[in-house]
Amino acid sequence: MTDQTITTKGPTIDTATCDGCAICIEVCPTHIFIPNGKDEIAIHPERTAFCMACGHCMAYCPSGSISVVGLSADHIFDLTRSPVDFEALSDLLASRRSVRVYKDKPVPRELLEQIVSTITLAPMGFTPHKLEITVVDDRAIIEQALPLLVDFYEKLGKWLANPFMRRMIKRRISQSKFEALDTHVIPSMTYRLPMMKATGIDTITRGAPAMILFHGRYDAAYHYEDSFIALTYGLIAAHALGLGASGISLIPPIVEKSPELRELFHIPPDHEVCSCMVLGYPKLKVKRGIHRDLAGVNWL
Ligand SMILES: Cc1cc2nc3c(=O)[nH]c(=O)nc-3n(C[C@H](O)[C@H](O)[C@H](O)COP(=O)(O)O)c2cc1C
C-alpha cells in the first residue's frame, strides 16, 4: 500500500515495506518527512512543494520504500563496490596534471560517455541540475573555432589599448576577470597569437581532440558554481580513464560573446557559457606531483 498523499512533486512512502526507521527524517534537507506518532513516517503535505529531488531519502532508505517524483531507476542505483581508500584517491589526484600536449588520437565515445556519467555524480548548489554540457569529439569543429578565437583575442587586445573601450570592458566584467585579462591573458597573447598563426601551434585548445563546454540558463540558480564542480569531476574522470585534460578559461568568455562560436557549438541564446575542458590522450608521462601553496591556511 502506498501513502495516500497525492503529490505532483516530492516523495511517496510505500508503507507496506517502510519499517519506520526514520532515517528519511534525518537526511531530508527540507524536513518533508515527519513522525506520525504511531512509529510510522508521514509526509508533511505542505512541505512537498520544497522537495528538491535530491534523492537523499531514496539513497539512504534501508528498505527502498521511498520514491520521488522526477527520480527514476536511471537515477538511483545500488552501490556495489567499496569507495576507494584515501591513499588510492590521493595517488589519483597527485598524478593528475593539466595536460597541454596530446596525441593525435581521437577519444572513443565510450570513454566520453563514462566522463559524462561521472559528471552526473557531481554535487550541485540547488537540485535539479541546471547545467548542460556540450561534448565536442570532432577535432575539425574545434579547428573551425580557432581562427574565431584568435580573431576575438586580437580585437580584445586592441580594445584594451583604447581608453574608452577599456573603461567599458572594465565596467562590464568582474575586477578579478579584468585583472587576469589585463595582466596575463592579453599581454601573453601578443606573442601567442602570432606564434599560433606562424607555426600552427595551438596555444588555446592545445591540439586536444575533444572538448566539453559547460553552460546553463542565465537565470538558473547556481549554474555558474555548478559548472566548475562538474568540470573538476570531468578532469578527474578523464585522468582515471588514462586520458589527459585541462580546464580552459580562454574559451567560455569568447564563446559567450561571439555569435559565430555560439552557433558553431550550438549554445542556446539564453545560456551562459561558464567553463570548458579539453581532453585527449596525453603525449607525455608525468614523473612528479606538485603541491600548490594555498594563499593561506587558517585554523580557528
Ligand atoms: C577553471 C580553470 C581554467 C583553466 N584555464 C586554462 C587555460 O585557459 N589554459 C591553460 O593552459 N590552462 C588552464 N588551466 C589549467 C591551470 O593553469 C592549471 O590547473 C594550473 O597550471 C595548475 O596545474 P595542474 O592542473 O597541472 O596542477 C585552467 C584550470 C582551471 C581549473
Q: Is the pTM for the entire model greater than 0.85? A: yes
Distance 38 CA to ligand 1 centre (A): 56
pLDDT score, position 290:
96
Using CA atoms of 71, 268, 113, 232 in order, give the dihedral in degrees to the nearest 10.
Answer: -90
Q: Report the C-alpha gap between 143 and 206 in whole angstroms.
A: 11
Nearest CA to 31 out of 16, 14, 10 is that of 10
pLDDT score, position 37:
85
Pocket test for ligand 1, best of 249, 250, 274 (most atoms within 8 A of CB): 249
pLDDT score, position 81:
86
Place of cell 573555432: 145
What are the Cα distances from residue 146, in Å, to 4, 31, 82, 208, 278? 58, 50, 43, 12, 13
The answer to whether the CB of 234 is under 6 A from ligand 1 is no
Cell reading at 185: 591573458
Atom of ligand 1 at shortest distance to CA of 292? 27
Closest Cα to atom 14, ligand 1: which residue? 247
Instruction: For 66, list phi and psi in degrees, rounded to 5.
Output: -110, 140
The answer to whether the CB of 249 is under 6 A from ligand 1 is yes
Pair 273, 249: CB distance under 8 Å: no
Distance 207 CA to ligand 1 centre (A): 15
The answer to whether the CB of 17 is under 6 A from ligand 1 is no
Residue-range domains of the chain with CATH: 11-68 (3.30.70.20), 92-140+205-280 (3.40.109.10)
Closest Cα to atom 10, ligand 1: which residue? 248
Sequential pLDDT tens for the chain (300 residues): 344 444 578 999 999 999 999 999 999 999 999 998 888 999 999 999 999 999 999 999 999 999 999 999 889 999 988 889 999 999 999 999 999 999 999 999 999 999 999 999 999 998 878 899 999 999 999 999 999 999 999 999 999 999 999 999 999 999 999 999 999 999 999 999 999 999 999 999 999 999 999 999 999 999 999 999 999 999 999 999 999 999 999 999 999 999 999 999 999 999 999 999 999 999 999 999 999 999 999 999
Distance 94 CA to ligand 1 centre (A): 15
Q: Report the C-alpha gap between 91 and 79 in whole angstroms.
A: 23
Distance 98 CA to ligand 1 centre (A): 6
Pair 278, 210: CB distance under 8 Å: yes
